[in-house]
Amino acid sequence: MRKRLKILIFLLFFAIPLSLGKHVYKEAHYQQVWCSNNKGIPEYKNADKTRVDCLTKTHAVEFDFAPKWAESVGQALYYSMVTGKRGMVVLILENPQKECVYLERVKFMAKRLNFDVDFMTLDSLTKCKEQN
């Protein structure tokens, strides 16, 4: 089982996703908003010089745009192992109607591999701006 998990993490971590074009905001913008709202440390540097997008008291959080869902799973699992915190993927859905399929894939993986999932949309950025 451990060998299979290591192989899966390796494959997911090094998966090369296809880019579907330009994004409305950069990934870092979504990270900053979510991390600030959840009292996390952005771009937390691990001992091996990798960086967790956001480290909270309980989670090592990886952010990615929806088409890069597989890469985000691998990174979240790796950062969980490195930090000792629970892994989490925050998937960025700029076009939720088309991209929900990716969220469902991450949720399926989360149930099997025991990590948490959240998501952000352009609407969630607007709501955050209104609250500040």
Could you tell me where the beta strands, DSSP code E, fall in 27-97? 41-45, 51-55, 59-65, 86-93
Q: What is the pLDDT of residue 26?
A: 79
Q: What is the pLDDT of residue 17?
A: 43
Q: What is the pLDDT of residue 27?
A: 83
Return the residue matching tokens 């790796």.
78
Q: Which domain holds residue 55?
A: 2-15+24-131
Tokens of 21: 């074009």
Predicted TM-score (pTM) above 0.85: no
Q: What is the pLDDT of residue 6?
A: 62
State the 10-residue block means of pLDDT for the chain, 132 residues long.
63 47 75 94 95 97 94 96 96 91 95 95 58 38
What is the SS3 assignment for 16?
coil
- Count the neighbouring beta carbons within 10 Å of the beta carbon of residue 77: 24
- Using alpha carbons, select from 119, 33, 112 the residue that is nearest to residue 72: 119
| Angle at CA of residue 120, ends 84 and 37, nearest 5° | 65
Cα dist from 106 to 26, 99, 126, 127, whole Å: 21, 11, 24, 24
Domain count within the chain: 1
- Using alpha carbons, select from 98, 102, 125, 118 the residue that is nearest to residue 17: 102
